Amino acid sequence: MLNKYARAFFTRVLTPFAAMLLRRGVSPDAVTLVGTVGVTAGALIFYPVGEFFWGTVVITLFVFSDMVDGNMARQLGRSSRWGAFLDSTLDRVADAAVFGGIAMWYAGRGDDLVLCAVTLFCLSSGQVVSYTKARGESIGLPVNVNGLVERSERLVITLVLAGFSGFEATFGVPNIGVLLPIALWVVAVGSAVTLGQRVVTVRRESAELAAAEESKPVPGERQATAGDETEEKGRTA
């Protein structure tokens, strides 16, 4: 959902920055790697100790690399299968770091095993949501569904509310820490709905494809039918 409305805006904003990196000889793959390292470090250093504000600031600085590297590749006119594979793979690493860091907080000093479990569900369901689309496409299905909560929504909801919840520990704003649990529950439910949407879509598309394949005449049968008709005409003559 956010991909449709926000990506075009950020593409326009980040295009000059991407062009500047290209002029300096920076490759898209390098931006992908640096962005993933930055997100991972920010999540696993700050989040487990409850520094959600500064952790979110650091993560946000690097998370836009996901748009910058693709912008750079388009400007170079050389988008590659390797680049797409690397980008998609490292996205999963970054997502795991974000939710893993939050889970470490709740398993430790946050002392809330229920929210730790919810966070782990967000992590695992997000990975499976991405897998269902990739797997469906690998077997020749379009998987033509956007879904309620995709990667962009998961990150925006989690990072924005995590950052605001950090105001309680960092700036002493009372009662605002509840925003992070709200974010996790929303992402968990939304991811479950999205997973259901993906599974239902793949099931429907696979059934439609199977029906279309069954309705096609087999070439051997068509030839046999033509031969039978010729033989029947010969007998009649």
- State the maximum Cα–Cα separation within the chain, in Å, rounded to a whole number: 101
- Amino acid letter, 143: V
CA dist 237 and 228 (Å) reads 14
Closest CA to 125 of 64, 204, 199: 199
Residue 104 structure tokens: 């470490």
Closest CA to 34 of 99, 95, 94: 94
Instruction: Compute φ and ψ for 24, nearest 5 degrees.
Output: -90, 5
Are 106 and 173 spatial neighbours (Cβ–Cβ below 8 Å)?
Answer: no
Which contiguous run of DSSP H or E holds residue 100?
helix 81-107
Residue 227, CA distances (Å) to 78, 190, 222, 234 in order: 52, 58, 9, 11
- Catalytically active residues, by annotation: 91
Our CA dihedral for 8, 14, 16, 22, rounded to 10 degrees, sits at -110
